[in-house]
Structures are given as structure tokens and as C-alpha cells.
Amino acid sequence: MEFRDKIYKIVKNIPKGRVATYKSIAIAIGQPQTSRAVANALAQNFNPKIPCHRVIRSDGFLGGYNRGGLTHKAKLLRSEGVLVKNNHVEPKFILPSQ
């Protein structure tokens, strides 16, 4: 399975109302030093079945979103019940690293 496919498989399983970090995705695929590569792979994804908006930075900041920017990413997360303030997600919504 390709690097990108491993990422997409994990991201597909992030439930509504929760988020994961780029770092936790990198850890989950067994390559903990590849957080930036995870972010780059998600930035190139336009498949609506992959909920890229549910992946954020380790500091809680939303990070980028290729389908409408931070405002749209925050709107999507809020519609799923995630508390977003000043483009940061409240820690209780962040899934622990696997």
C-alpha cells in the first residue's frame, strides 16, 4: 500500500465530532517523522470521501484546507460538533495518538 493510501485509510476512520493530528496519523502509519508529508498528502487530496478537514496540527491549530481555507474547515468541524475558537480545536476533541 502506498504512503498516501495508508494516510487516507486512517483519515476515513476519524469519526464525526473528533479530529486527529498530522503527527498522530504519521505515528499510526508507522512513520512518526513524516508529519509534514502527511499534511502535504492531504493537501493534494480532493476526494470528498476522505474527511481531510478532521486533521489538524499538533498545537490544536486548524492547519490548511484545500477545499475552502480555514474558515470553511472551521465551519465543517463546528457542524460536526467540534468546538473551534480562534482557529484552534479544544483539546477534548483531539483523538489520542495510536
- Provide the residue range defining the domain that includes 27: 3-90
In a domain, 73, yes or no: yes
In a domain, 30, yes or no: yes
Tell me whether residue 98 is in a domain.
Answer: no
The residues carrying an active-site annotation are 52
48 in any annotated domain: yes
C-alpha cell at 2: 502506498
Q: Express as a percent the part of the chain with pLDDT over 70.
A: 99
Q: Is the pLDDT of residue 98 over 80?
A: no
**Res. 19: pLDDT tops 80:** yes
Q: How many domains does the chain have?
A: 1
- Residue 92 in contact with residue 84, Cβ under 8 Å? no
The answer to whether residue 50 sits within a structural domain is: yes
**Is 95 part of a structural domain of the chain?**
no
Predicted TM-score (pTM) of this structure: 0.95
Contact at 8 Å (CB) between 20 and 55? yes
User: What average pLDDT does the structure give for the chain?
Assistant: 95
Distances (CA, A) of 88 to 9, 13, 85: 25, 22, 5
